């Protein structure tokens, strides 16, 4: 398995895992590549496909299955995406990609794009905890989150152009919506990597912390959101994510419908009454459980 780690627009380093025999490859496919760690109402979805968390068919499909399970679990109030202490994800399995023909790559890409779309559509807040590299498909996964916290030594980028291709799993679309067309084109057309400080200036990440504290910081933020009113948080995601892709009048109509729906919830009654009785910020909202089993 290989992934490209780019030093600048002119040079790259290819890191490859050892090539398995067919029998050992079959055995490897049986080893889970996604680990779910539960901390009360927050679940960490950890990519566990060393050495690079490179996306192949097995990792892609397992991530999709775990995300679908989480979407239907009301006890999960927030999700953290994490690749481990060393790196988030270094992109696609380049060797496997190079072996595909056009029809094969079309189907593979459609499925990976659909998987990241499912991450973006999770009803609860999603926080990406970025360590080391988040390149190519790795950055595209992070872009599907609602909030990104990066290690101070992290490197992020969409280097696909250096392979003669373009991002195919949201990189051209989510990156542009996040940092704007001009800045997105610069990163996409040069394939350059940015460090955490520049990523913060660009708005590519929301917070930078010491490398050893990334997962802790992501959990802390996720727990803060998990204590909030679930229906309101879900409605905010829908209003922002879908409203920005429509005309203002359509977005306002969506907001109006969501506002009315949320107003009818128990959490709205709790929040309004708490404000009247105690002032702002004192409400304790309903928590349906203590996380996934």
| Residues 4-15: b if buried by 16+ CB within 10 A, e if exposed | bbbeeeeeeeeb
Q: Which residues are catalytic?
A: 140, 160
d(CA 165, CA 3): 14
d(CA 124, CA 142): 15
d(CA 285, CA 191): 45
The candidate with the shortest Cα–Cα distance to 128, out of 79, 162, 200, 90, is 79
| Residues 89-119: b if buried by 16+ CB within 10 A, e if exposed | bbbbbbbbbeeeeeeebeebbeebbebbebb
Please state at what angle helix 248-263 crosses helix 266-278, rounded to 10 degrees: 80
Task: Give the E-state strand segments of the chain in sequence order.
Answer: 2-6, 12-16, 34-39, 42-47, 78-82, 126-130, 133-135, 147-151, 155-157, 193-195, 207-209
């Amino acid at each position: 398995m290989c992934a490209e780690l780019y030093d600048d627009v002119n040079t790259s380093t290819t890191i490859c895992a050892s090539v398995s025999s067919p029998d050992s490859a079959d055995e490897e496919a049986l080893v889970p590549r996604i680990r779910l760690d539960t901390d009360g109402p927050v679940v960490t979805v950890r990519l566990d496909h060393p050495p690079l968390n490179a996306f192949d068919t097995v990792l892609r499909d397992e991530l999709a299955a775990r995300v679908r399970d989480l979407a239907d679990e009301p006890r999960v109030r927030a999700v953290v995406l994490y690749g481990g202490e060393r790196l988030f994800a270094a992109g696609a399995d380049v060797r496997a990609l190079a072996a595909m023909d056009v029809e094969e790559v079309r189907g593979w890409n459609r499925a990976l794009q659909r998987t990241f779309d499912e991450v973006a559509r999770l009803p609860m807040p999603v926080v990406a905890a970025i360590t080391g590299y988040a390149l190519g498909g790795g950055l595209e996964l992070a872009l599907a989150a609602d909030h990104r916290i990066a290690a101070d030594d992290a490197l992020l980028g969409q280097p696909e152009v250096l392979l003669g291709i373009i991002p195919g799993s949201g990189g051209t679309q989510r990156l542009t919506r996040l940092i704007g067309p001009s800045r997105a084109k610069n990163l996409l057309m040069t394939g350059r990597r940015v460090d955490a400080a520049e990523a913060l200036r660009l708005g590519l990440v929301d917070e930078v912390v010491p490398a050893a504290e990334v997962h802790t910081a992501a959990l802390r933020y996720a727990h803060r959101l998990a204590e909030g009113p679930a229906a309101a948080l879900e409605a905010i995601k829908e209003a922002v994510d879908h409203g920005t892709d429509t005309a203002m009048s359509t977005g306002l109509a969506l907001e109006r419908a969501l506002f009315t729906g949320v107003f009818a919830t128990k959490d709205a009654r709790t929040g309004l009454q708490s404000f009247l009785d105690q002032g702002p910020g004192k409400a304790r909202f309903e928590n349906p459980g203590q996380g996934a089993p």
